[in-house]
Amino acid sequence: MTRAQAIALAEQCFDSGAFRTLLARRVALPTESQNPDRAAVLADYLDAEIRPAFEALGFTCRTLTHPKALAPFLYAERIEDPALPTVLGYGHGDVIRGLEREWKEGLSPWALTESEGRWYGRGIADNKGQHTINMEALRLVLEARGKLGFNAKYLIEMGEETGSMGLRELCAEHSELLAADLLIASDGPRLSAPRPTIFLGARGSLNFDLTIDARAGGHHSGNWGGLISNPGLQLAHAIASIASPVGQIRIPEWVPKELPAAVRRALADCEVDGGADGPEIEPDWGEPGLSPAERVFGWCSFEVLAYKTGNPDTPVNAIPPRAWARCQLRFVVGVDPDDLIPALRRHLDSQGFSMVKITLTRESMFRATRIDPDDAWVRWAVDSLERTSGEKTALLPNLGGSLPNDIFTDVLGLRTIWVPHSYPGCSQHAPNEHLPPELLRQGLCLMTGLYWDMGAGGTPAVAR
């Protein structure tokens, strides 16, 4: 068969309903990794659903575990010739909580349902729909060619939504097993629903709490107002010292010295579009002098996720004893991740806020990653997608959000090319998670073409 015939097989697979049937079966499994009662379902997703699918493609599978991980991992490999390029794939089968009661009438997180031209279901965007596309694309290339023409390895985890605990240690322990020439995986959103996208890394993410504990209890504001400090007011000023009224970060160590020229070139034709349900972009918010794409994909952003002082539900006439805020920094390559908290401590102290306590909210952070947009493998992948779609591919130096890409770049030493099959308005992590079926259909064709090209020869030179 030819490349065009392989892509025609992908179209037939989708149009016949076979792809929908497969995805519906996987969506029906409530793999909520944040729910301890679902531990058996997490294991079942790997053992009863994903392992048989890989074994049917001639992959050898094994279950991997690590003491830090709350759920097992599935490793699958098909080695056709050690001299051929080797591609590592990655996905996660766990999902965020279903939030059943909050979905629109007639919808359920555990039933793939079509409504108003969209497919709804928990995991359809994050990440069951995405790794199902890639696995089916591998199957279609095998059906069309009789072989892949390259070596394929795949790692599926079941704890990404709880922080990928143990993934870093597992990859370090099994670095030889997972050795490859590059990672090709799918997660996160496209730049916009209709535009095929590649991103090459992810912004880092650091979550932390800021707290002021002034005294043991509240005190009457009439008797003590003007005599004792108000933690709520103090913390508000401390936060205001971190970012300007329009969100520009005021801590120099929290932003890169410059926006690299290759990043500017890659983002020059990228327009951020959240779709009809997305919020309107505010042109004056964030770092001045940057385009919206440069602000979210090339720069850093500071957010206050939650703030509490006193009793918000029943306010009383008392000066509160405590104030608390959950904060987050998204950061890019060019920022020293090990100096983020020390720089914040120095800044707060210099501004007179030594009473503010800083506490990390998790054991580790997602570190910022990005491979060179001018890399030969990146150009090869972009050309493949454009050959299939006939459209210009959006090339993002990194995802605006965060994922454990640094494990693949820093621990395994891989180039990382992500081809997302979602879009910004998909309601990921929220009720009514969905995708347009035409996006899924195109994604299946794109990946079939990409894997076909991987096995057709003519890929960049492999340095081992």
**What digits encode the pLDDT tens for the residues 73-109?**
999 999 999 999 999 999 999 999 999 999 999 999 9
- Among residues 439, 453, 371, which one has the least CA distance to residue 405? 371
Q: Please tell me the predicted confidence (pLDDT) of residue 276.
A: 76
- Among residues 361, 304, 290, which one has the least CA distance to residue 332? 290
Q: Tokens for 315? A: 């306010």
Q: Please tell me the predicted confidence (pLDDT) of residue 163.
A: 86
354 inside domain: yes
- Amino acid letter for position 413: G
Is residue 222 very low, low, confident or very high in pLDDT (cuts 50, 70, 90)?
Answer: very high
Average pLDDT score, the chain = 96
Asked if pLDDT for residue 464 goes beyond 60, the answer is no
**92-101, 181-190, 400-409: lowest mean pLDDT where?**
400-409
Are 56 and 82 within one domain?
yes
Q: Please tell me the predicted confidence (pLDDT) of residue 365.
A: 79
444 inside domain: yes
Are 234 and 314 within one domain?
yes
38 inside domain: yes
462 inside domain: no
CATH number of the domain at 239, please: 3.30.70.360
Are 441 and 420 within one domain?
yes
Q: Tokens for 236? A: 């508000």
Asked if pLDDT for residue 12 goes beyond 80, the answer is yes
Are 26 and 163 within one domain?
yes
Are 379 and 238 within one domain?
no
**144-148, 167-171, 458-462: lowest mean pLDDT where?**
458-462
Are 449 and 340 within one domain?
no
What proportion of the chain, given as a percentage, has pLDDT over 70? 99
Are 198 and 55 within one domain?
yes
282 inside domain: no
Domain boundary among 342, 360, 378: 360
Are 121 and 47 within one domain?
yes
Task: Please give the average per-residue pLDDT across 433-441, as a whole number.
Answer: 98
> Whole domain around residue 233: which residue ranges?
204-256+300-360
376-395 pLDDT per residue, tens: 999 999 999 999 999 999 99
Domain boundary among 344, 360, 376: 360
Q: Please tell me the predicted confidence (pLDDT) of residue 83.
A: 94
Is residue 31 very low, low, confident or very high in pLDDT (cuts 50, 70, 90)?
Answer: very high
**63-67, 149-153, 370-374: lowest mean pLDDT where?**
370-374
CATH number of the domain at 30, please: 3.40.630.10
What proportion of the chain, given as a percentage, has pLDDT over 90? 95
In whole angstroms, how far apart are CA 251 and each of 30, 303, 321, 348, 420? 42, 14, 28, 10, 32
Q: Please tell me the predicted confidence (pLDDT) of residue 65.
A: 97
Is residue 168 very low, low, confident or very high in pLDDT (cuts 50, 70, 90)?
Answer: very high
Q: Please tell me the predicted confidence (pLDDT) of residue 363.
A: 64
Are 54 and 123 within one domain?
yes
Task: Please give the average per-residue pLDDT across 149-162, as a whole number.
Answer: 97
Asked if pLDDT for residue 462 goes beyond 90, the answer is no
Are 70 and 24 within one domain?
yes
Are 174 and 237 within one domain?
no
Specify the number of domains making up the chain. 2
Is residue 63 very low, low, confident or very high in pLDDT (cuts 50, 70, 90)?
Answer: very high
Tallying the residues shown for the chain, one arrives at 464
161 inside domain: yes
Is residue 463 very low, low, confident or very high in pLDDT (cuts 50, 70, 90)?
Answer: low
284 inside domain: no
In terms of DSSP bridges, do strands 204-213 and 322-331 run parallel, antiparallel, or are they unpaired?
Answer: antiparallel
120 vs 103: CA distance, rounded Å: 10
255-281 pLDDT per residue, tens: 999 999 999 999 999 998 877 777 889
Domain boundary among 335, 360, 385: 360
Is residue 402 very low, low, confident or very high in pLDDT (cuts 50, 70, 90)?
Answer: confident
323-375 pLDDT per residue, tens: 999 999 999 999 999 999 999 999 999 999 999 999 999 766 789 999 999 99
Are 46 and 181 within one domain?
yes
Asked if pLDDT for residue 244 goes beyond 70, the answer is yes
278 inside domain: no
Task: Please give the average per-residue pLDDT across 392-413, as a whole number.
Answer: 94
